[in-house]
Chains A and B, each alone.
Chain A
Amino acid sequence: MGTMDTNEAGLIARILAGEKELFHDLIRPYERMVYLTLLAIVKNETEAEDGAQEAVISAYRHLASFRGDAKFSTWLTSIAINQGRKRLRKAKGAAEESIEEEADSHVGDFTPAPLTDWREIPLEALERKELREALRAAVAELPDIYRQVFVLRDLEEQNIEETAEALGINPGTVKVRLHRARIMLQKCLVPFLKTTAPARRGFFGRAL
Chain B
Amino acid sequence: MNLDCKHVWEHISEYIDKTVDAELRKDIELHLEHCEICSAILDSTRNILILTADDRTFELPVGYSKRLHQRLKDEIEKSKHEPPVGEAK
- The residues of A with any CB-CB pair to B shorter than 8 Å are 15-18, 20-21, 23-24, 27, 31-32, 35-36, 39, 45, 49, 52-53, 56-57, 60-65, 111-119, 126, 131-132, 135-136, 139, 150, 154-155, 157, 160, 175, 178-179, 182-183, 185-186, 189-190, 193
Contacts and interface: CB of A to CB of B under 8 A. Distances in A.
Given A20-B85, A52-B68, A136 B58 contact: yes
A112 B41 contact: yes
B57 interface: yes
Interface in B42-89: 43-45, 47-58, 60-61, 64-65, 67-69, 71-73, 75-76, 79-80, 84-87
Contacts of B72: 23-24, 27, 56-57, 60
Given A27-B72, A57-B71, A126 B40 contact: no
Contact of A155 (B9, B58, B84, B86): B58
A24 B69 CA distance: 7
Contacts of B57: 132, 135-136
Given A35-B60, A155-B58, 11 more contacts: A15-B85, A32-B55, A53-B67, A60-B76, A126-B50, A132-B51, A154-B52, A154-B53, A182-B12, A183-B12, A186-B45
Interface in B5-42: 6, 9-10, 12-14, 16-17, 19, 36-37, 39-41
Interface of B: 6, 9-10, 12-14, 16-17, 19, 36-37, 39-41, 43-45, 47-58, 60-61, 64-65, 67-69, 71-73, 75-76, 79-80, 84-87
Contacts of B85: 15-16, 20, 23, 60-61, 63-64
A102 B19 CA distance: 28
A64 B71 CA distance: 20
A16 B45 CA distance: 44
17 contacts: A20-B80, A24-B72, A31-B60, A60-B72, A61-B75, A63-B86, A64-B86, A114-B40, A119-B39, A119-B43, A132-B51, A132-B54, A139-B52, A150-B52, A182-B13, A186-B45, A186-B48
Nearest to A185: B48
Contact of B43 (A56, A118, A179): A118
Contacts of A139: 52
A57 B75 contact: yes
A182 B45 contact: yes
A133 to B, nearest CB: 9
A132 B55 CA distance: 11
A53 B55 CA distance: 20
